[in-house]
Each structure stands twice: as structure tokens, then as C-alpha cells.
Amino acid sequence: MPESEPGLIRGYLEVLAGQLPGPIVEELSDGLTETHRSYLARGLSPDAAAEAAVAEFGSAEEILAGFARVNPARRAARRLLGLGPVVGGCWVAALATSRAWPGPTPARVVLGLLLVSCIGLLAVAALRRRYRVAFYSGIAGCVGFAALDASLIVGVLVVAGVASWVTAVAVAVSSARIAFCARVAVVSQQNT
């Protein structure tokens, strides 16, 4: 939006820029500029055109709520939290039947702390409506879960050398989760 545009529009965009990523704000700014111009072309004064454009665009709260709903990291966080017990159950069954808990006690503690941190980050992403907070928490949670899954797979297959059908199922679901997290990172990158 050029410097000469009315303060009402600048202020409106500043509110959006406080919570949304730059590329999304750029897109909204382009749309708002076009809306403003259409009212100017109908003969309204710059300030009246700005008021009409902002009114037509809808409230900033409405737009922020709309983007919060389609935040890819937020939606991914909800799916990962929903599927977490399934993946966890597979690993508990695999480790209990093979009796091959990976690594020494400190390594297990680190894995446990990583798990709790990931769940916390995903919960923040799933529940917070602020786009940026939900976005970065969700991405961090995805990366953490991918690292956790990779550690479990390497620990059980390579270090402990366990091979059973229960372990194979756990490895398969963890691999699927790693692929899902990678896809979320790519989609999130494309959408910001």
C-alpha cells in the first residue's frame, strides 16, 4: 500500500501484519488497494473510499479468525495429537514384546522429554488462535516428532537389532508420521 493511502487502510493492514505472515498481508494489501480504487472510481473521496473498502473487506478479527482456521500447522497439530496415541501404542507394544528399550537411561529420559515437549508445542499450535504462534509451534512440534520417530527407528532397528512384526508395524507408522511432518513443512513453506 503506497504512503499516500489513507491512514485507515494503513492501520487496518498494520493490525493484520501484527499477526499474519508477510506474504499473506501482501496479498490482502493488494486486494484492499483494488477495493479502494474501485470506490475511488465510483467518485468517492479517498477517505470515504477507504471507509467503504475496509467495510467491504470485513473486520480484521473476521479475517484473522479465517486464516487461523486454515493455518496448515494448526491443522497438522490437531491430526498429530489425535493420532499420537495410536503411534505411541504401537511403540509400547513393540518395545514391550521385544524388551529392547533403546539406549541407556539418559537417552530414554531425553526421548521422554522430547515427547513431552512435542506434545506441548502441538497443543499450543492446536489451541492458540494467533497465526504466527500456532504456525511456529506447530512446525517445531512436527520437527520434534520426526526426530523422535527417527531416533526410535534407529534405536530399535540398528542399535538393538530387533526385528519382529510388531516392531515392523511401529516402524511403519513412525515412517508415515515422518512423511506427514515433512509434507506439513513443505505445505507450510508454500503457504507463507
Residue of 125, 133, 119, 60 whose CA lies nearest to 88? 119
How many other C-beta atoms can be found within 10 angstroms of the C-beta atom of residue 117? 14
Tell me how far, at minimum, the Cβ of 115 lies from another protein, in Å: 27
Could you tell me which stretch among 27-35, 42-50, 82-90, 167-175 binds another protein (CB under 8 A)? 27-35
Site for another protein in 107-136 (CB under 8 A): none
Please give the residues from 44 up to 103 whose contact with another protein meets the rule CB under 8 A. Answer: 56-59, 62-63, 66-67, 69-70, 72
Number of residues that bind another protein (CB under 8 A): 25
> Is residue 42 close enough to count as binding another protein by CB under 8 A?
no
* Residue 167 makes contact with another protein by CB under 8 A: no
Q: Considering the rule CB under 8 A, would residue 191 count as an interface residue with another protein? A: yes
C-alpha to C-alpha distance for 119 and 110, rounded to whole angstroms:
14
Listed ranges 39-47, 85-93, 150-158, 183-191: which one lies at the site for another protein (CB under 8 A): 183-191
Q: What is the DSSP letter of 4?
A: T
Q: Which of 15, 17, 100, 187 is close enough to bind another protein by CB under 8 A?
A: 187
Check residue 3 for interaction with another protein (CB under 8 A): no
Instruction: State which of residues 7, 11, 30, 176 lies at the interface with another protein (CB under 8 A).
Output: 30
Alpha carbon distance 8, 27 (integer Å): 18
What contacts 24+ positions apart, CB below 8 Å, involve 146-154? 146/177, 146/178, 146/181, 146/182, 147/114, 148/111, 148/114, 148/115, 148/118, 149/87, 149/174, 149/175, 149/177, 149/178, 150/174, 150/178, 151/102, 151/111, 151/114, 152/91, 152/102, 152/111
Q: Which of 34, 89, 110, 172 binds another protein (CB under 8 A)?
A: 34
Binding site for another protein (CB under 8 A): 23-24, 26-31, 33-35, 56-59, 62-63, 66-67, 69-70, 72, 187, 190-191
